[in-house]
Chains A and B, each alone.
Chain A
Amino acid sequence: MSLKRRSAQWPWHGLLVVILLGLAIGLWMATKQVNYEWRWERVPQYFAYHDEVAQTAPFTGRIVKVHPDGAYSQVEMIPDAGGSRAIITVETDTLRVADGAQVTEDQEIGVTRHWRVGPLTEGLWVTIWISFASGFIGLIIGLVTGLCRISKNPALRGLAVLYIELIRGTPLLVQIFIFYFFIGTVLNLDRTVAGIGALSLFVGAYTAEIIRAGIQSIPKGQTEAARSLGMSTAETMIHIVLPQAFKRVLPPLAGQFISLIKDSSLVSVIAITDLTKSGREIITSSFATFEIWFTVALLYLLITSVLSQLLFWLERRFARSD
């Protein structure tokens, strides 16, 4: 195994590196061709930026004294018209006035700086919470539909099949439009609610099929053993079938959820400012088209790979009884 295999493997690793390098060089050359100027330095400000807020004089008057206090300074001033003094705090390095100076109302005295969350971070957050909300609701819909799908009651079964086929047979983009423009209008729904609703129904249908398959993959003997002990149908499901099925459906369910995060980018068409929409908006003002799209892609990749890791960990924990 050891020496022979290793000597046979390294040329392929070498080839891999060469191919990747080739791709990178090709990409770089391609952007050179179109005279694209990379401005990566513009990207960080869309995650968070230092906002400056101008501090102005509340009245026409005179500066009594500037009290320096490290990075900040307290400016004490008194109105010409008489009345109580005011104290304004500004950043010392932006101080525009000195002791005894005369100021008019609304004159700038200095600024204060605050960290603000940029549109990319906001979009990322919207994408994450919309995905989790629809993933959670979809899981419940899927569980109920999956159980209906294998129920003995023809009405429940028929409804479940109809719902699953409708959702799986139409594109998500069309479903989002229908949900927003039709159901959303009829029920007077907020666009975010409509987006989450459409995504939930979408994952619900796929989850139902995963759960149905998971339940049916549990051997009949398990149910029979539980029933022969006097457990009811529901008790058998809760204590015997679902826990075992859950372990089996965890990988496909997680895959579905990872897909959902990517599919959620489609809600940007109904003007929900998720990660994708934020990216599009930023480009109109920054002109850093390539950089922003690459960054957006990387952010999606980041969420999905964190989830993959989490799943890997969960699977190992559940493998205890094997």
Chain B
Amino acid sequence: MIEVKNLLKIFEGRGQVVRAVDDVSTQVAKGEVVVVIGPSGSGKSTFLRCLNGLEEFDDGQVIIDGIDIASSATNLNAVRREVGMVFQHFNLFPHKTVLENVTLAQRVVRKRKAAEAKDKAMALLTKVGIAEKANEYPSRLSGGQQQRVAIARALAMDPKVMLFDEPTSALDPEMVGEVLDVMKQLAREGMTMAVVTHEMGFAREVAQRVLFMDVGKVLEDAPPAEFFTAPKEPRAQAFLKQVL
């Protein structure tokens, strides 16, 4: 479903050159859940953002469902419809109600009728357990509720792939569970997912593979059982010692 070949992303600025993603190749099969972990600044977010073209990468290829997203013949907006993204800081639209947050892109991008979009939105809000807040503005919701709305908003586009960038890092501890539960349910339903997270429990329980990143490189790619019990890389070992 996702194929990455020799991906390279360089940030230049203030005389510094940062190879944020340095020659990464990997793939995610249909229905697979891949968790990306690694220390802060290791390039996890940048890697994820290259997958839907939010970052323009410098070299390499990203192929989503058979479509090369960097090809000049590709309509990037059409690709992004198929790739949902959930951000660390939710990024809900504050001037729209919860319901409007979930219906807007359906109407604008998918050109669905108002009634159809609303039905879809209500079904998804019910699924993430927040239907009763449909007419509230996001500022009236807790972090966990906002993140669940953000997931519903992404799902409303019927994506083939979902990308999560530290979806629980900005949440108070008591709200982490409610968001992870929604994500686990999605995984059970067969959604293809790439998840950057520090929630090792989630990785162990849901992921088929764990990618460990450091200084822009994927240093280890292993099933969670293997990765958490016997990491091969010294840096992965050091990292796990710190977080576990």
Contacts and interface: CB of A to CB of B under 8 A. Distances in A.
Nearest to A320: B137
Given A221-B91, A322-B137, 15 more contacts: A221-B87, A224-B91, A225-B85, A225-B92, A226-B105, A227-B77, A227-B80, A228-B85, A229-B80, A229-B154, A230-B157, A231-B109, A320-B137, A321-B139, A322-B139
Contacts of A161: none
Contact of B77 (A225, A232, A239, A244): A232
A230 B104 CA distance: 11
B95 A247 contact: yes
Contacts, number: 65
Interface residues of B, number: 27
12 contacts: A222-B93, A224-B54, A227-B77, A228-B83, A229-B105, A230-B78, A231-B109, A232-B77, A235-B109, A240-B93, A320-B137, A322-B139
Main SS class of interface, A: helix
Interface string A193-225: 000000000000000000000000001011011
Pick the 7 closest A-B CB pairs, nearest first.
A230-B81, A225-B91, A229-B105, A221-B91, A228-B85, A230-B80, A321-B137
Interface of B: 52, 54, 77-78, 80-81, 83-85, 87, 89, 91-96, 104-105, 108-109, 137, 139, 150, 153-154, 157
Given A221-B89, A239-B108, A321-B139, A228 B52 contact: yes
Interface in A232-259: 232, 235, 239-240, 243-244, 247
B155 to A, nearest CB: 11
B160 to A, nearest CB: 12
A231 B108 contact: yes
B209 to A, nearest CB: 23
Contacts of A225: 85, 87, 91-93, 150
B91 A222 contact: yes
Most interface-central of A219, A227, A230, A321 (chain B CB within 10 A): A230
Nearest to B82: A230
Contacts of A227: 54, 77, 80
A229 B81 contact: yes
Nearest to B96: A321
Most interface-central of A222, A228, A235 (chain B CB within 10 A): A228
B145 to A, nearest CB: 16
A246 to B, nearest CB: 9
Nearest to B79: A230
B41 to A, nearest CB: 19
Interface in A282-318: none
Contacts of A321: 94-96, 137, 139
A188 to B, nearest CB: 46
B163 to A, nearest CB: 8
A235 B77 CA distance: 11
Nearest to A236: B108
Most interface-central of B83, B91, B150 (chain A CB within 10 A): B91
